[in-house]
Structure 1
Amino acid sequence: MDNHPVDNSPDRPLNGRTVLVTGGTRGVGAGIARAFVEAGAHVLTCARKPPEDPVEGTEFSALDLRDPDAVREFFAALPRLDVLVNNAGGAPYRPLVDAEAERHARIIELNLLAPLTASLAAYEHLRRAGGSVVMIGSVSGSRPSPGSAAYGAAKAGLENLARSMAVEWAPDIRVNTLVVGMVRTESSHLHYGGEDAIAAVSRTVPLGRLADPSDVGAAAVFLASPAAAYISGASLLVHGGGERPAFLDAATANKETRKET
């Protein structure tokens, strides 16, 4: 604990804090971990497999977040924890009827139950530190998610869980959610296709691009920092303005048709 004294420098607002980013080895998680390193934190990451390209300045531990006993053992061994970022999650594209309920339940286990398990295991550390939890949610939790229905349901539950935790654990621990939209990562082509497809998808976002992992990281650092000291139970949208409503394009097309006739 004494190895990381707290120093609230405005340029490095999390100096001295110890932060754990679950799934912090690639994609969005790596972007979050990198942002916390830049903010001065002592950053731990965990995932089932070691990273191929470790984020400089982080310490990695192998951990299966779906194993409650292993999770409790891992957190019990930590000397200190100020911030928990529940980022680990995800889901393959899978229409509901293409798999048995048990397969979909595994998605819910990873995206909802695992963050609950980790948060409970981290509770005493966070309470002593006056720390915070940042849930990494998704816009899929508030809109239909065909092909990833179980994932969307889990993310909806995660956001609600965070709001309840914020009330139960106040005033000792703040709990907030980042509701994340489309992010460009090393695996974006698996979701959207090649460069032309990614460019087309980007045009559906009001800000004209997909998020970079660093955008999500900056928002996570803000919610964990003293600048957000009075923010708890909140859901911060990180989605570039969301999606242009489909009816607007339909209405415009209809207007042009009327002009021609």
Structure 2
Amino acid sequence: MGRGAELGGRVAVVTGGTRGVGAGIAGAFARAGARVIVCARRAPEVPLPGCEFKSVDLRDASAVRDFFAGLDRADVLVNNAGGTPYRLLGGTDAERHARVIELNLTAPLTASLAARERLAAAHGSIVMIGSVSGSRPSPGSAAYGAAKAGLENLARSMAVEWAPEIRVNTLVLGMVRTELSALHYGDEEGVAAVGATVPLGRLAEPHEIGAAAVFLASDAASYVTGASLLVHGGGERPAYLDAATAGKES
């Protein structure tokens, strides 16, 4: 199969795919030949070539069910919508933290259930967008980390329950360079400094996340389900190593 045709004729739904990582994923699926439907509350500020947009509030279960019921076909669901502001646990009430869990864990479950019939008919796949925050302490984003840990576990259980009709996998992401990087890491110098802490020496680009998502959705991964693919540039250098070598020449 030639380049750009890996997913020819298939329909891919990307939630929250209007910018950043989601836009990178949507673009990668479009380049792979899929018909891409991006769904989120707000339309993209920058056009997404080769993609359609549908306004859907992913926290509204009825709206999500109606959206998938209106599709003739769905081969791939990428549960990308999510995120969180910086918020210490003691800085707000449990209800506010619960909204983070709702967006990052409950919404993907809702979308997956709503899409199940269409995906099973197509022998399709689900790609969950996880995070390294789900496997390490996440001060300032504890609810987000807990939700991502739950999402990865949900994907593994879903992969067993829904096999062999639907494959379910998780991309476990590290830091990605997006339009919002400056909010987290500062100016270009700050982004570069943060990137230098990653073994590969930089942050990921959204199109690289998209390429990994296309792989999991493609026939190249036909025997891959219940898996978690780390896309984090090698992860984080253990802090104790830096402490142990502080002041010493390498």
Pair 1:21 & 2:6 matched: no
Aligned to 1:251: 244
Aligned to 2:208: 215
Write the distance in 2 (CA, Å) between the matches of 1:94 and 1:247. 26
Pair 1:41 & 2:63 matched: no
Aligned with residue 45 of structure 2, among 48, 52, 55: 52
- Counterpart residue identity of residue 79, structure 1: D
Check conservation: 2:4, 2:31, Cα contact below 8 A.
no
Check conservation: 1:9, 1:15, Cα contact below 8 A.
no
CA displacement, residues 80-128 of structure 1 (integer Å, 9 cap, x when unaligned): 0000000000000000111100000000000000000000000000000
- Counterpart residue identity of residue 66, structure 1: R
Check conservation: 2:76, 2:119, Cα contact below 8 A.
yes
CA change 1:36–1:52 in 2 (3 A) is same
Write the distance in 2 (CA, Å) between the matches of 1:251 and 1:235. 31
Alignment of 1:39-188 (within 5 A): 39-188=32-181
How far is 1:253 from its partner?
2.2
Aligned to 1:193: 186
SS in 1 for 2:121: helix
How far is 1:196 from its partner?
1.2
Check conservation: 1:91, 1:107, Cα contact below 8 A.
yes
CA displacement, residues 232-261 of structure 1 (integer Å, 9 cap, x when unaligned): 0000000000011111112222655xxxxx
- Counterpart residue identity of residue 136, structure 1: I
CA displacement, residues 142-166 of structure 1 (integer Å, 9 cap, x when unaligned): 0000000000000000000000000
Write the distance in 1 (CA, Å) between the matches of 2:47 and 2:109. 26
Write the distance in 2 (CA, Å) between the matches of 1:9 and 1:121. 32
How far is 1:11 from its partner?
4.2
The root-mean-square deviation of aligned C-alpha atoms, in Å, is 1.2
- Counterpart residue identity of residue 107, structure 1: V
TM-score by length of 1: 0.94
Write the distance in 1 (CA, Å) between the matches of 2:43 and 2:247. 54
Aligned to 1:225: 218
How far is 1:12 from its partner?
1.6
SS in 2 for 1:61: strand
TM-score by length of 2: 0.98
- Counterpart residue identity of residue 123, structure 1: R
CA displacement, residues 51-89 of structure 1 (integer Å, 9 cap, x when unaligned): 111211100000000000010011000010000000000
SS in 1 for 2:168: strand
Q: Gaps (5+ residues) in structure 2?
A: none
How many residues are paired up? 250
